[in-house]
Every structure is written in structure tokens, then in C-alpha cells.
Amino acid sequence: MTKSALATRFLTKWGFTLAITGFAVLVAMASYVVFEYRNFARLEIHTNEVISQLRQLEASIERAETSQRGYLISRQLSFLQPYHKAVYLVSQELTDLTQLVADNPLQVWRAKNLDRLIDERIQKMETIIDEASRLPMSQVAKHIDTETMNELRTEIGKMETEELNLLAERRKYSQRFSALSIVFLIFGGLSAFLLLIFSARLIRTAAKRNMEQSSLISQVFDSMTDGLIVINKDLVVTHSNRASDLITEKKLRGMTLAEVYSHSRPATAGDAPADIDYRNSSLYRALRGETVLRFEVTMGNVDRKLISVDARAVVGEDGEIVAAFCTYQDITQRRATEDEWRNAREAALQASRLKSDFLATMSHEIRTPMNGVMGMATLLLATDMTNEQESYVKTIKGSADSLLSLINQVLDHSKIEAGKLELDKQDFDLSGVIEGVMSLFRYLARSKNIDLKIVSDPAVPPALHGDPNRLRQILLNLVGNALKFTERGYVEVLIKPVDDTGHKLEFSVRDSGPGIPPDKQSHLFQKFSQVHDSKFVKAAGSGLGLMISRELVRVMGGEMGVESAVGVGSRFWFTAVFEVAKMASLCEWKPKGGREPLNGRILVAEDQVVNQLVIQKFLTSFGLECVIAEEGGAAVERAQSEHFDLIFMDCRMIPMDGYEATRRIRAFNKIIPIVALTAEGVSGEKRLCLEAGMNEVVNKPVDIDQIYRLLQGYLNKPDYDESQLDKLAEYESEGKSLIETLSEDFFTNGKALVVSLEESVRAGDLEKMKHYAHALRSPGLTLGLAAFAKLCAELEETGPGYDQIELRSKLDRLNSLYNRACGWLRQQTRSSKVS
Amino acid sequence: MAKILLVDDQDSILKTAEAILKKAGHEVFTAADGYIALEKLAIFTFDLIVTDANMPGISGFDLVKALRIGEKTRNTPIVMLTSRQEKRDVEKAIQAKINDYVIKPIDPNILISKINALLEKASGKAS
């Protein structure tokens, strides 16, 4: 919220309160001032009354005095009448005065004083009048004095002055209050006016905002394609948009819910519209706290509409339900489109199936005569012909061959489309399949001068159970494609297991061909698709190959994909799930000739007699001495008492299993290589084995080649290149023979480097590890420690996504290779000295 | 007899090459990295330089680039030592205008014959 908006909100909230409070204070003060002013005005009148009373009193006394004197001088009794009247008035007026000044204690006291003086005076006058009737005038006169009268006058004067003072004071106040009241009047009027303007403006803005908001809301509501109805707690529709009015065919706003649902749909088509109990309506239920989601109703009197309804309650700030709203979506059209689309798809699929069936039948029918053509052509080739004739027949045969392969592809394709593609299940020799594929292409590869090679991971089981023919088909397709497009460089088939179990294999065919632009790659696996580009014009074929291959891979439980970069080459890969061949087929494998015999003593811990026999057969065929231990405990005992070069350890044995046996052997012999033999590759088993201290894991059924390679790695002396030492023998460095100097360096620095390398692996510092590996490789190479240098090179190549366990086992090998290399070097230097 | 600078971060290679070249009658200076090599090149003039390809800090390629710019060393024959794995390095090295390369592990006969051939060529040009 902006600052100004906040200020406006504050003003609207508190402005009124403030203004009204201010106004009330103003009014209160003004009325106080007016009240005071009135008070002082009254007091002023009062003072004036007192003064006039005083003057009357003075006048009455003087009149009494004058009358008395008149009597004394004239001695006429007629003068006494006004005198008595005056005396009477004086007493009356004095009483009035006392009453008037009752609010002023000082004046009351003075009035009493005045009363006393007047009493004294009247007393004296009475005495004189009395004496005057009896005594002569001269004697009377001495009683006449002016003293009391003067005193009286002074007292009245004092009272008058006091009152006049009061009057002046009160006048001052009343003037001030009258001025104040004028000020308040002006201020009050002004602020009332301002308040009026301010509130008028506020009311106008609020009204305008309300108008805008409600017009915006109703515009938004009306622009919605979905109907919307909002009802309040009293079941009256407060909002309804155009769409809802259209759907319900009523003007809903202001209606009660009962009215909304009266005559809302015919009970059955043709019937008179019937009322629905609004208490069953979604809106009513939503108001009761239910959330009514997505149900469909048929509505409308004329066109029956399919409506999807969605109702919810609106919860106020206090958590109480204050309203409910409901949206209506007219899905008549959508449902109709969906139905149409579904029908169309069904029809299309049906047509496609028919076409596939037709293709399958046709392909099959074509194959029969094609076989005739091919058979006859083959027979014809065997007869005596001229060179010209022979070349014609070869062309016929060649064309028939490609036609047949095309038909086969079409047949496969229709089988796939019809969902009739089934796989064969049989044991087969994987290397046989691969070799078969490669042999077909060798000639072509040689003629194009392309390096065609196979790289197979040793962990790939040699014997599999699955469909060799389909596998061959896929490989033929991929290798054929790769060779077709590649003009120079290489085509390489790589095979490796995807996981520990060895059941899922990944095959990839890599080439150094022209590559496929990224935008074309996604089309590769579609029907009849080839990369159409001037570079690829030589490509010929049905365009079905990759699509069929992918389908085959899918049926084999795998996936297929491609990675390619223009100008670099392509890699087509696929995975497939096989079962491992049954144990029985293992014995049929004949050890291939030409293996160099190995030397050594092997302990085999294995409890199953068949397996004992198999591995014993293998080992003795390699020229090794084989000792069998029936279970883990026996293996531990023999390993402790006899010398072995390597131990094969079955994992599942009773009573002591392979893991425990390994742990016990490791307690006293850390060096001897222990190779696990695990049955069905259970995932996680490899980790268990390595954690127990085994060096490597071999999955059963064991492959003779794999065992041989493995034993070769462990038993053969490290691959030393003695010729390298011979080459350096004649040189000298630092006063010794060069070899001696380098060897000594290798003994001292090498050990430190190996330790540092291990530490860097532990710290997870790959860069440092590579640095140390590099530093070890150089002397290794120079000194002819080929195997050691090779391992160092491997370590140098370690990528960021390396396998911890694999790396650790490499470190173990590095250690043992280093120790052996040192031994070998010592032997060499000694023997060279002797010689 | 020629004055040769040997540059390699690996002590074993330095020692081996030094022994071989000394026996062939050359005067040999060694540098354990590119910085030391550049320092020695600033002071002395060499008839030939043998350098490793991959070294930390200044790599062999960077060194060659620098030498080919320098007035004094522009025409000095350079032999690069590369590993068998670093096939791509060989191509890179040739592009960097070295005169020849020797694949490790060093075969003394190959090293000597290549160096002598280069030295002969250089002296032929000079004379």
C-alpha cells in the first residue's frame, strides 16, 4: 500500500472522530462562554438595582429629615405626615436592600451597619419631635446634629462605591466573554463548514470507489465463460453473472434460492417444469459447509445442457460462513467434441489395424515367392555361366536379398502395430552374437578404412537368456547405420551393465560420422524417416529400421536413444533386460586356447559341490593350485595356517558366511586379495562385500574369461617393462647410476605421495588426488613400472561422478602395486649391481 | 656441445633427461616449472629447450607460445615431452610451433637423435 493510500485510510477512520470531538469541545466552550456572559449581565442588572435602591433609601431619609425640619421650623403637624411616610419607606427600602445584597457578605454587613445608623437617626428625630412639642425651640436645637446624617451618607456612599466597583468588574468580564463568544462563534461556524465539506468529499469518494469496484467486479464476472452465482446467508442471490443467467435462463440477482430452483428443469423431457427442493442444491449445501465439487447436471427447458457444477462456501474473517458461491460450466460442447474425437480415434485405430493386418498378410504372401526367386538364383549361381550371366544372377540375388529384408522389416512393423511381436527365450552366448554382427561388417569397415571395435565391460555376463536374434537385429541395424554414414574414423560397440545385477545391459554404437542435427534427432525413430540432407544422400532403406529397433528394445524391457553432434559423431544406445543363463550351460563353454598359464595357490570357500567342481576345473585349467574350504570357518583356518595368493569367497555359506569369514581373515591378513562369488546379483550385495573387506565381486554363474582376466590382474607380476630399465642402465646421476637415484627417490618420495593421495581421497579433494597420481605416474613410467603407471593414469582420469567403492579398491591396488614395484626395483638394482 | 634447458615439474623426468643429455655431452640447465624456465631464459641463451607439456602454473603450451613471441627465443628449437595418453596434446603441441616431441617414458636413443637432428639443422642455418 502506498503512503498516500495509508494516509487516506487513516483519515477516513480517525478523521471523523477527531473532527467531531473538536467540534464538541468547541460547542461546549462556546456555551460556557455564553452562560457566563448571561450570568454577568444578570449581575450587572442586580448591581444597578442595588444602587437605585441605595439612592432611593438616601432620598427617603433625606425626605424624612426635610419633613422633620419643616415640622421643627413651622411646628405644623402637617409636616409630620410626609415624615412618617418617609420613615416607613426607609424601613421598607432597607429591608429590600438587605434582601438584594444578601449574596455579598460585605454589603450585608454594611446594610446592617446602615440599618443601625438609620435606626439611631430615626430615634433621634423621634426624640426631637417629641421634645419639640414640649420644649422651646432653643432647647430643641441642640439635639439637632448633622453627624449621624453625614455618617449615614458616607455609609451609603461606600455601599454605592462597592457596588459600582463590582459593576465595573463585572462589565469587564462580560465584555471579555462577549468577545470570546464571538470568536467561538466564528471558529465553530468555520469548522462546521469544513467538516461538512470534508465529509461530503469522503462520502463522494467512497461512493465512487464502490461504484468502480462493483462495476469492475460485475464486468469481470460477466466476461467469464463460466457461470457464477453468489448467495448470502439469507439465501438471496447477491451476484450472478451473464453466463449463469444464460445457463439458468433467468435473471438471478435478487432472487431467493427457492425462486432460483423453481421450474429449473423438466423432470423428464416433455413434462411440465418441476420445482426442485432448493435444500438439495449445491449452493445450499455449500452454505452448510460442504464443498461440492464437479458434478454434472442436465439443465435447460429447451436445449438440454450438460453443466459441470462446483460450489464452495465463503468464510468471513471470524471463521463463520458468510456466503456461498457456485460456478457453472457449460460442458455440452466439450463433451460432444470429446465423444467425436474418441469415435474418430477408434475409427482411425480400426483402420490402422486393418491396414497392418493386410500388410502382414501381404508380406507373408510375398515372402513365399521371394524364397523361390532366391533359391533359384542360388542354384543358378552354382551352374556354369559366362561372367556376364553370373553378374546378372548376382544382381538378381542381391536385389532379392534387399527386397526380402525390406519385407521382413514391413512384417516386423505390422507385428509391432498389431501388438503381436513376441520374443524368443533361450540361453545364448553374448560374445557370439556380437562377433556375428561384427564379422558381417568387418569387410565393409576395412574397405572404408574405418576402425571397427568392441569394448565390453568385464562385468557383462557372457551367457544370457533372452532373444539373441532380436538383439542381433538391433545391433545389425545400428552398426549398419553407423558404417553407412561414417566416412572415416571409427565405429565402436560398447557393452556395459546398467546396474549391479548385470541383468540390464546397455549397448551403444558410437561413430565418428557426420552427426545428426538436433532438430532431426527427434524424427529419427519415426516411421519412414531418414535424415534428408545432401550429406546423407547415400542412405538407402525403408526408414523402418530404427523404429523397429526401438520397438524391439521396448519389448525387451529397455529404452533407446541417441546423442549426436554435427561434425563429431553419433552415439546410439539402448538398454535391454536379460535373464542370466542357467548354470548348466556354463559347463558347455570350452576354455579358449592360447591362455598363458598362471602360477599360484588359490583358496576357494564354497559350499556347493557343483560350484566347487566348476571353479576347480577353471583354476586347474589355468595351471593354478586349488584348495577347497567347505565353509567360512574352514576358510579362515586354512588362510591362517597356509599361504595363498588369492581367495574366492562364496557369500552364502553355513555356518559361517563369506562376510564374516572375510572380516576374520582381514584381522590377520590385510593384503591377500579376496574375491566374492555372489549368486543372483542382489543389489547392495556388492557394497556389503566391499565393506566386509573383499577386493572385488564376481557374479555367478562365473565366466571363465572373466575369472582368467581377474586372476591375471592379481597373480601375474605387475606388468614391468624391463627394457625401459635397460635403456637407462648406462646413465648416471648424482654420482650413482640413474636407476639407483630414481629408485631411491621412488622409495622415499613415492611412499609419501601414495599416503598424500589416500589422504586427498579421504578429504574428497579430487584435484589434489589427480596431482599426486600424476606425480607418481612419471617415475613409474620412467622406471618401467607399466602397471603402476597405468593405474596412476586411471586415477588421473577419474571423473567427478566417480564410484567411491571403486576408487577405494583402486587405492588398495595402488598400495599393493607400489609395494610390489619397490620390491621389483630393489631386485633389479641388486641384480644389476651383481652383474 | 650445446646448451640445453630442461623444463619439467616431475623430478624423475628432469633427472632422467639430464642424465641422458649430459652423457651425450651437452650442458644441461633444469627448471622445475614454467616460471623458473622463463627466469633462466631471461639470463641465459640456450641452443635448445626441452619442455614437458602439462605442468601446473605455466603449461608447456603457454611456455612455447611465450617463447615464440620473444625475440631471443623465437627460433630456438623446442622439443616437447608428452604422454601416450595425451595424443591430442601432440597435435596441440605441433600447432604451438614446437619443433619435435618425445613420448614418455623417455627412450634415450630417441631423445638424443631428435635433439641432435634439431641442433644440426639449427647450426646449419646459422652457418
A208 belongs to a structural domain: no
Tell me what pLDDT residue A269 has: 41
> CB B15 to CB A742 under 8 A?
yes
Tell me what pLDDT residue A195 has: 81
pLDDT at residue A143 greater than cutoff 70: no
**Distance set, CA A509 to CA A481, A530, A533, A543, A546 (Å):** 10, 18, 22, 18, 13
Tell me what pLDDT residue A591 has: 39
More confident residue, B56 or A613: B56
Task: Calculate mean pLDDT across residues A721-733.
Answer: 83
Percentage of residues of chain B with pLDDT beyond 70: 91
* Number of domains, chain A: 6
CB-CB neighbors (< 8 A) of A732 in chain B: 19, 23
Task: Calculate mean pLDDT across residues A249-263.
Answer: 77
Gap between the Cα atoms of A635 and A658, Å rounded? 9
Q: Of the given ranges (A49-63, A231-245, A703-717), which has the lowest mean pLDDT? A: A703-717
Gap between the Cα atoms of A604 and A650, Å rounded? 8
CB B2 within 8 A of CB B48: yes
Give me the domain span that covers residue A388.
337-416
Instruction: For A36-72, give one letter per residue: b (16+ CB within 10 A) or e.
Output: bbeebeebbebbeebbebbebbbebbebbbebbebbb
Residue the block writes with cell 432647647 = A139
CB A430 within 8 A of CB A423: no
Tell me what pLDDT residue A266 has: 42
Residue B82, strand partner residues: B103
Nearest to A635 by CA among A620, A617, A654, A618: A654
Q: Which of B12, B85, B109 to mutate to test binding with chain A, by most A CBs within 10 Å of its CB?
A: B12
Alpha carbon of B34: minimum distance to chain A alpha carbons (Å): 17
Predicted confidence band of residue A542 (pLDDT cuts 50, 70, 90): low
Give the domain-ending residue among A533, A562, A581: A581
Antiparallel, parallel or unpaired: β A560-565 and A569-577: antiparallel
Give the chain A residue nearest B110 (alpha carbons).
A727
The crossing angle, in degrees rounded to 10, of helices A704-715 and A609-621 is 60
Q: Which three cell numbers stand for residue A805?
A: 567403492
Nearest CB partner across the interface for B23, out of A731, A779, A784: A731
Task: Calculate mean pLDDT across residues A716-720.
Answer: 61
CB A244 within 8 A of CB A328: yes
Q: Which residues fall within 8 angstroms of residue B100, CB to CB, at 6 or more apart?
A: B77, B79, B80, B114, B117, B118
A207 belongs to a structural domain: no
pLDDT at residue A537 greater than cutoff 70: no
Give yes or no: residues A603 and A577 share one domain.
no
Check residue A280 and report its DSSP letter: G
Residues in chain A: 835
Query: Which H or E element spans position A157?
Result: helix A147-223
Antiparallel, parallel or unpaired: β A265-266 and A646-650: unpaired
Tell me what pLDDT residue A106 has: 77
Gap between the Cα atoms of A459 and A706, Å rounded? 8
A385 belongs to a structural domain: yes
Give the domain-ending residue among A551, A581, A611: A581
Alpha carbon of A490: minimum distance to chain B alpha carbons (Å): 16
What pLDDT digit, counting tens, does each position of A355-388 carry?
Answer: 877 877 777 777 777 777 777 777 777 778 888 8
Chain A contact residues (CB < 8 Å to B): 721, 724, 727-728, 730-734, 738, 741-742, 745-746, 749, 771, 774-775, 777-779, 781-784, 793
Antiparallel, parallel or unpaired: β A696-699 and A674-678: parallel
CB A636 within 8 A of CB A657: no
Alpha carbon of B77: minimum distance to chain A alpha carbons (Å): 24
Question: Cβ atoms within 10 A of the Cβ of A94, count?
Answer: 20
> CB B105 to CB A731 under 8 A?
no
A205 belongs to a structural domain: no
Tell me what pLDDT residue A12 has: 65
CB-CB neighbors (< 8 A) of A742 in chain B: 12, 15-16
pLDDT at residue B5 greater than cutoff 90: yes
pLDDT at residue A301 greater than cutoff 60: no
Antiparallel, parallel or unpaired: β A732-733 and A736-737: antiparallel
CATH assignment at residue A251: 3.30.450.20
Alpha carbon of B21: minimum distance to chain A alpha carbons (Å): 10
Give yes or no: residues A52 and A185 share one domain.
yes
Nearest CB partner across the interface for B19, out of A731, A746, A778: A731
Chain B contact residues (CB < 8 Å to A): 10-13, 15-16, 18-20, 23, 54, 56, 83, 85, 104-109
Give the domain-ending residue among A581, A609, A627: A581
What pLDDT digit, counting tens, does each position of A28-53 carry?
Answer: 888 888 888 888 778 888 888 888 88
Give the chain B residue nearest A789 (alpha carbons).
B105
Residue A570, strand partner residues: A511, A564
Predicted confidence band of residue A649 (pLDDT cuts 50, 70, 90): very high
Give yes or no: residues A275 and A386 share one domain.
no
CB A770 within 8 A of CB A744: no
Nearest CB partner across the interface for B10, out of A732, A778, A784: A778
What value, to the nearest 5°, has the Cα angle with vertex A8 and ends A7 and A12? 120
CB B37 within 8 A of CB B63: yes
Give the chain A residue nearest B18 (alpha carbons).
A733
Gap between the Cα atoms of A449 and A499, Å rounded? 35
Per DSSP, the three-state class of A604 is strand
> CB B11 to CB A749 under 8 A?
yes
Q: Which of B16, B30, B33, B109 to mutate to test binding with chain A, by most A CBs within 10 Å of its CB?
A: B16
Q: Where do runs of H (alpha helix) occur along chain B? A: 11-23, 34-43, 60-69, 87-95, 108-126
A210 belongs to a structural domain: no
Tell me what pLDDT residue A510 has: 92
Give yes or no: residues A71 and A106 share one domain.
yes
pLDDT at residue A719 greater than cutoff 80: no
Q: Which amino acid, residue A32?
A: Y
More confident residue, A497 or A540: A497
In whole angstroms, what separates CA A279 from the centre of its chain? 41
Gap between the Cα atoms of A780 and A791, Å rounded? 10
> CB B105 to CB A742 under 8 A?
no
CATH assignment at residue B92: 3.40.50.2300
CATH assignment at residue A819: 1.20.120
Which phi and psi angles does A70 have, rounded to 5°?
Answer: -55, -40
Nearest to A613 by CA among A652, A586, A632, A637: A586
Tell me what pLDDT residue A592 has: 42
Nearest CB partner across the interface for B12, out of A734, A778, A793: A778
Percentage of residues of chain A with pLDDT beyond 70: 87
CB A760 within 8 A of CB A772: yes
pLDDT at residue A573 greater than cutoff 90: yes
CB-CB neighbors (< 8 A) of A731 in chain B: 16, 19-20, 23, 108
Give yes or no: residues A533 and A456 share one domain.
yes
Give yes or no: residues A250 and A387 share one domain.
no
User: Which contacts qualify for A11-15: CB closer than 8 Å, 24 or more apart?
Assistant: A11/A202, A12/A202, A12/A206, A15/A198, A15/A202
Q: Which residues fall within 8 angstroms of residue A252, CB to CB, at 6 or more apart?
A: A229, A237, A240, A244, A245, A260
Q: What is the DSSP code string of A345-388?
A: HHHHHHHHHHHHHHHHHHHHHHHHHHHHHHHHHHHHHTS---HH
Average pLDDT taken over every residue of chain A: 79
Alpha carbon of A732: minimum distance to chain B alpha carbons (Å): 6
> CB A733 to CB B20 under 8 A?
no
Gap between the Cα atoms of A799 and B98, Å rounded? 30
Give yes or no: residues A109 and A144 share one domain.
yes
**Distance set, CA A389 to CA A256, A375, B36 (Å):** 99, 17, 78
Residue A490, strand partner residues: A451
pLDDT at residue B96 greater than cutoff 50: yes
Task: Calculate mean pLDDT across residues A120-139.
Answer: 76
More confident residue, B113 or A306: B113
Percentage of residues of chain A with pLDDT beyond 90: 6
Give yes or no: residues A317 and A174 share one domain.
no
Instruction: State the ipTM, two decimals.
Output: 0.87
A452 belongs to a structural domain: yes
Predicted confidence band of residue A276 (pLDDT cuts 50, 70, 90): low
Give yes or no: residues A704 and A627 share one domain.
yes
Give yes or no: residues A236 and A256 share one domain.
yes
Q: Which three cell numbers stand for residue A714?
A: 592379481
* Number of domains, chain B: 1
CB-CB neighbors (< 8 A) of B20 in chain A: 731
Gap between the Cα atoms of A833 and A549, Å rounded? 65
Give the chain A residue nearest B85 (alpha carbons).
A793
Q: Which of A490, A731, A739 to mutate to test binding with chain B, by most B CBs within 10 Å of its CB?
A: A731
Task: Calculate mean pLDDT across residues A760-772.
Answer: 87
Give me the domain span that covers residue B69.
3-126
CB A598 within 8 A of CB A641: no
Give yes or no: residues A172 and A243 share one domain.
no
What pLDDT digit, counting tens, does each position of A149-198 carry?
Answer: 777 788 888 888 888 887 888 778 878 887 887 888 888 788 888 888 88
Q: Of the given ranges (A82-91, A272-281, A572-581, A610-619), which has the lowest mean pLDDT? A: A272-281
Q: Of the given ranges (A144-148, A407-411, A825-829), which has the lowest mean pLDDT? A: A144-148
pLDDT at residue A832 greater than cutoff 50: yes
What pLDDT digit, counting tens, does each position of A440-452 carry?
Answer: 787 788 888 888 8
CB A694 within 8 A of CB A673: no
A784 belongs to a structural domain: yes
Alpha carbon of A778: minimum distance to chain B alpha carbons (Å): 7
CB-CB neighbors (< 8 A) of B81 in chain A: none
Q: How many A/B residue pairs have CB atoms within 8 Å?
A: 58
Residue A579, strand partner residues: A465
Task: Calculate mean pLDDT across residues A664-693.
Answer: 79
Gap between the Cα atoms of A29 and A33, Å rounded? 6
Q: Which residues fall within 8 angstroms of residue A396, CB to CB, at 6 or more apart?
A: A373, A377
CATH assignment at residue A640: 3.40.50.2300
Tell me what pLDDT residue A272 has: 43
> CB A738 to CB B19 under 8 A?
yes
Give the chain B residue nearest A796 (alpha carbons).
B85
Alpha carbon of B20: minimum distance to chain A alpha carbons (Å): 6
Average pLDDT taken over every residue of chain B: 85
Give yes or no: residues A397 and A324 share one domain.
no
